[in-house]
Amino acid sequence: MYSFEKGQRPLNPYLAGAITGGLVALSVVATGKFFGASTTFARAGAALVNMISPEHGASLDYFVRYPFAVDWQLLFLVGIFVGSLLSSTVNGTFFIDVVPELWRERFGARTWLRLFTAFLGGVLVAFGARMAGGCPSGHGLSGVMQLSMSGFVSLAAFFVGGVAMARIIYGRS
Mean pLDDT of 72-88: 90
Residue-level pLDDT at 1 = 42
Q: Is 165 left (phi over 0), alpha (psi -120 to 50) or beta?
A: alpha
| pLDDT tens column, 15-49 | 988 998 898 899 889 888 888 788 888 888 889 99
Sign of CA dihedral 29, 25, 144, 126: positive
Contact 33, 72 (CB under 8 A): yes
Identity of the amino acid at 111 = T
| pLDDT tens column, 126-170 | 888 878 777 777 888 888 888 989 889 888 988 898 899 889 888
| pLDDT tens column, 81-116 | 999 999 889 888 888 889 988 889 889 999 999 999
The Cα–Cα gap between 62 and 89 comes to 39
Residue-level pLDDT at 125 = 84
Residue 109 CB coordination number (10 Å): 12
